[in-house]
Amino acid sequence: MGFDKGLMAGSGTMLVLSLLEGGDMYGYQIIEELSRRSSKLFQMKEGTLYPILHALEKEKCLSSYQQQAPTRRMRKYYRLTRRGKKLLDEKRTEWSVFRQGVEQVLSNGASALA
């Protein structure tokens, strides 16, 4: 079953921060891990991910560094900063409040129809 992609747009920052909480990652790795953890439900494109990463880095929520891969190619890794961890905590709280509100509306709506 698919879902409204607008739901993903509002959650992208939180999802990226959450993935980086587990350790440093490079862009393609973030895309693959998001897909894997969501059982392929979330398929983030590079054109969506990199603006998120760049904005978070500009806000000092992420830092980055270059490291050579086994293929000898240089990769840019992103790391969560203290400010990023604080933002993630805020986003999680925001998500919890939002989710509770949606669930309350849905459950009350179902009982009102009965």
Q: Which pLDDT does position 108 carry in this prediction?
A: 81
Runs of H (alpha helix) within 4-67: 5-9, 12-21, 27-37, 46-58
Which domains, ranges and CATH numbers included, belong to the chain? 5-109 (1.10.10.10)
Contacts 24+ apart (CB under 8 A), 107-112: none
pLDDT band at 87 (very low <50, low <70, confident <90, very high): very high
Could you tell me the pTM of the whole model?
0.86
pLDDT of 5 higher than 80: no
Q: Helix %, strand %, coil % for the chain, to 5?
A: 60, 15, 25
